[in-house]
Structure 1
Amino acid sequence: MTQPDSADPALGETLYAEHCASCHGARLEGQPNWRQPGEDGVLPAPPHDETGHTWHHGDGVLFTYTKLGGQEALRRRGVTDFASGMPAFEDVLSDQEIWHVLAYIKSQWDPQVREMQKERTAMEQAGQ
């Protein structure tokens, strides 16, 4: 699964502001202490800028995590011992709107980081 060419970062920016910025930050900066679980055992929302780990994942993982929510996406990958606070957006955003949001996030990275994420997507597609 890869981002379609029709994904529009400008539309994604609007959708991000409406649906994502409250947790992940208006400037993609994430929540404070995002590497440390809260009292509930759930990690705060990570940054989507280059300081976070979003770019470490291929498009399929990013899309599925957003659509199904963290818990379900992880469960489908066999991870059952991690508590994710990421909600599912499948009833909120269409698939195309999710791709718009991801296109916006990626558009904020420098070219080298975008290229590394593209390579991770290729490895993901190859089953590595």
Structure 2
Amino acid sequence: APPAPAQPPRRNESLLARGEKIYAQQCAWCHGDQGKGEPGAFPPLAGNRAVNLANPVNLVQVVRRGGYPPATEGNPRPYGMPPFGHVLSDEDIAAVLSYVRSSWGNTGAEVTLREVMQR
């Protein structure tokens, strides 16, 4: 018999609602309401490989500490993501990343508070 299709992970709806609210307040300005970003300025979150990785450590770090591409001769002052660790609690980070990882076709698992606290 063929293997049963994988069931999508169960989602904590209250966590995702909290994450959606945080996303709208803090992230949508740059990454857009649909996570498409802005070419050349802000990376898309929809379908982004880093968003869907099994281990969310890089996502936690970039939200907490920000991230900036290297300066080059052609782009001496690259635009990056500011840190949000002073604005968002660990619970907020878990919620917004869980929302991003389950929106716009992304398939990442929810990010737990424990995962955020360990990073």
Both structures adopt the same fold (TM-score exceeding 0.5):
yes
The TM-score, its normalising length taken from structure 1, stands at 0.60
The TM-score, its normalising length taken from structure 2, stands at 0.64
Flag the structure with more relative contact order, 1 or 2, with Cα contacts below 8 A and sequence separation at least 6: 1
Q: Whole-Å Cα distance in 2 between the matches of residues 22 and 61 of structure 1?
A: 21
Would you tell me which structure has more helix in proportion to its own residues? 1
- Residue 31 of structure 2 aligns with which residue? 24
5+ residue gaps, structure 2: 1-11, 72-77, 110-119
| Mapped contact 1:70–1:84 kept (Cα < 8 A) | no
5+ residue gaps, structure 1: 35-43, 75-80, 119-128
Distance 1:85 1:47, change over 3 A: same
1:55 to 46, 51, 58: 51
CA shift digits 1:93-119 (9 cap, x unpaired): 111101100010111154xx52xx56x
Shift of residue 46 of structure 1?
A: 0.7
Flag the structure with larger Rg: 2
Give the RMSD, CA atoms, in angstroms. Answer: 2.5
Q: Whole-Å Cα distance in 1 between the matches of residues 101 and 61 of structure 2?
A: 16
* Aligned-pair identity (%): 33
Q: Which runs of 4+ in 1 moved over 3 A?
A: 81-84
Q: Whole-Å Cα distance in 2 between the matches of residues 10 and 20 of structure 1?
A: 15
| Mapped contact 1:47–1:53 kept (Cα < 8 A) | no
